Chain A
Amino acid sequence: GAGVSQSPSNKVTEKGKDVELRCDPISGHTALYWYRQRLGQGLEFLIYFQGNSAPDKSGLPSDRFSAERTGESVSTLTIQRTQQEDSAVYLCASSPHYSGGAYNEQFFGPGTRLTVL
């Protein structure tokens, strides 16, 4: 079946512009995660959606970052007034319903490479 998809695959923008990144999770997966990977650094958690619960936004680096998810489908990560330090690969992952105390395997999309000039 189809995996996690992300669009665009590459985005080049000018400093100060807003950008929107899209993630389509695997159908039926209730949990959705956004991570960021800056050049030469490890992956950082940004935000997590689980069903209709309030999202865990603890990883968002500033109030310029926000994300939305409609039900259990598409999610959009928005970065306002982009800065050069926002340049990174933004990765989205989804996983099946959390149950029985066990978090399930996360499946990642190919990522969006964001370059802020």
Chain B
Amino acid sequence: KQEVTQIPAALSVPEGENLVLNCSFTDSAIYNLQWFRQDPGKGLTSLLLIQSSQREQTSGRLNASLDKSSGRSTLYIAASQPGDSATYLCAVSGNTGKLIFGQGTTLQVKP
């Protein structure tokens, strides 16, 4: 059974810092990995999708890497801003497309 773990559960940093969020999964037979952000009381916003054959994806200040064989992904956020404060979720999909989610990392960026 696929399990997804995110570390740390919560993170507080001053504005401007670069930071890394970690995601690990137990079954390396994934089709893709997707990072989302969730703001309080809101739905999920897709940030990055990495196909299983890819090693990384970049969007603006965000960079996500995937090491499928070791079951790990990282989300790197450069020059963090208060507007980045949210919960970040990692999810993997197998051969059915349904997503298995981690518990999330709650990020607070202080001005």
Please give the residue numbers on chain A whose beta carbons come within 8 Å of chain B beta carbons, in ascending order. Answer: 31, 33, 35, 41-45, 48, 50, 56, 59, 91, 93, 95, 98, 101-111
A35 vs B91: C-alpha distance when bound (angstroms) = 12
Nearest-neighbour CB distance to chain A for B110, whole angstroms, equals 24
Q: A91-B44, A111-B43 are in contact. Are A103 and B31 (CB under 8 A)?
A: yes
Partner of A107, one of B31, B46, B96, B101: B46
Q: Indicate if B65 sits at the interface (CB-CB under 8 A).
A: no
A43 vs B100: C-alpha distance when bound (angstroms) = 8
Most interface-central of A101, A103, A108, A110 (chain B CB within 10 A): A103
Partner of B34, one of A33, A41, A44, A105: A105
Nearest-neighbour CB distance to chain A for B81, whole angstroms, equals 23
Q: A91-B43, A102-B31, A109-B43 are in contact. Are A43 and B98 (CB under 8 A)?
A: no
Interface of A is mostly: strand
Partner of A42, one of B42, B93, B101: B101
Closest partner residue, chain B, to A44 (CB atom): B101
Nearest-neighbour CB distance to chain A for B91, whole angstroms, equals 8
Q: Indicate if B99 sits at the interface (CB-CB under 8 A).
A: yes
A116 vs B43: C-alpha distance when bound (angstroms) = 20
Closest partner residue, chain B, to A107 (CB atom): B46
Contacts of B99 in A (CB 8 A): 33, 35, 43, 45, 93, 106
Nearest-neighbour CB distance to chain A for B24, whole angstroms, equals 14
Partner of A56, one of B32, B43, B98: B98
